């Protein structure tokens, strides 16, 4: 189902829920959330579904609204991966390659049925062209999440030594 503007009402509702309940998009006001809602798509992944493989081209980032994903990195030993994170509702995944344009740095797998709100690079570019101020706020929020995750990684590394 979609509204007069061609946006999925389900995706718009998901975007509003991301802001209100999950703390995502907290840096945008309600009107801005509605503006960007049309650029997102909803995806439901089944348990065990590979969302992307390390080295794949980067085609989207994902906000997790329900379920969990496991993020793994290939080690120096062939066929061996290390789990670098398990992300649940309120998390974002795949944002690094959207920002830097590089291939996927990790593999992501749904560990249970998972609902994602996705944004492709094409739609991000369109958002930035059509709504530069809102797009700028969105990118600031993404960078804030990346910074927080990096700081937590630094803390975890420091605990090892």
Res 143 pLDDT > 90? no
User: Predicted confidence band at 125 (pLDDT cuts at 50, 70, 90)?
Assistant: very high
Domain-embedded: residue 3: no
> What's the CA gap between 125 and 99, in Å, rounded?
11
Which pLDDT score, from 0 to 100, does residue 121 have?
92
Domain-embedded: residue 82: yes
Res 74 pLDDT > 70? yes
Q: What CATH number does residue 98 fall under?
A: 2.60.120.10
> What's the CA gap between 56 and 128, in Å, rounded?
24
CA proximity to 124, closest of 139, 113, 111? 139
Res 19 pLDDT > 70? yes
Res 122 pLDDT > 50? yes
Mean pLDDT across the chain: 88
CA proximity to 136, closest of 60, 66, 35, 55? 35
The mean per-residue pLDDT over the stretch 49-76 comes to: 94
Domain-embedded: residue 28: yes
Which pLDDT score, from 0 to 100, does residue 4 have?
39
> What's the CA gap between 89 and 73, in Å, rounded?
21
Which pairing describes strands 50-52 and 69-74: parallel, antiparallel, or unpaired?
unpaired
Res 1 pLDDT > 80? no
**Domain range spanning residue 18?**
9-123+130-155
Residue 56 CB coordination number (10 Å):
14
Which pLDDT score, from 0 to 100, does residue 137 have?
86
Which pLDDT score, from 0 to 100, does residue 8 have?
81
pTM: 0.85
Domain-embedded: residue 160: no
The mean per-residue pLDDT over the stretch 11-16 comes to: 85
> What's the CA gap between 117 and 99, in Å, rounded?
17
Considering only residues 142 and 57, tell me which one the structure prediction assigns the higher pLDDT.
Answer: 57
Domain-embedded: residue 161: no
Which pLDDT score, from 0 to 100, does residue 30 have?
87
Tally of domains in the chain: 1
> What's the CA gap between 20 and 14, in Å, rounded?
10
**Length of the chain, please?**
161
Domain-embedded: residue 111: yes
Domain-embedded: residue 104: yes
Res 5 pLDDT > 70? no
The mean per-residue pLDDT over the stretch 49-55 comes to: 96
> What's the CA gap between 63 and 117, in Å, rounded?
5
């Amino acid at each position: 189902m979609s509204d007069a503007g061609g946006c999925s009402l389900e995706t718009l509702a998901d975007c509003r829920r991301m802001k209100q309940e999950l703390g995502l998009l907290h840096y945008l006001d309600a009107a801005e959330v509605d503006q960007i809602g049309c650029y997102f798509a909803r995806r439901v992944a089944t348990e065990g579904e590979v969302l992307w493989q390390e080295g794949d081209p980067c085609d989207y980032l994902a906000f997790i609204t329900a379920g969990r994903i496991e993020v793994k990195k290939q080690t120096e030993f062939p066929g061996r991966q290390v789990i670098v994170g398990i992300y649940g509702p309120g998390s974002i995944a795949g944002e690094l390659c959207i920002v830097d344009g590089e291939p996927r740095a990790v593999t992501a797998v749904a560990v249970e049925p998972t609902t994602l709100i996705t944004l492709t690079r094409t739609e991000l570019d369109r958002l930035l062209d059509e709504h530069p101020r809102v797009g700028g706020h969105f990118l600031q929020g993404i960078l804030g999440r990346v910074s927080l995750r990096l700081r937590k990684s630094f803390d975890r590394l420091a605990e090892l030594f």
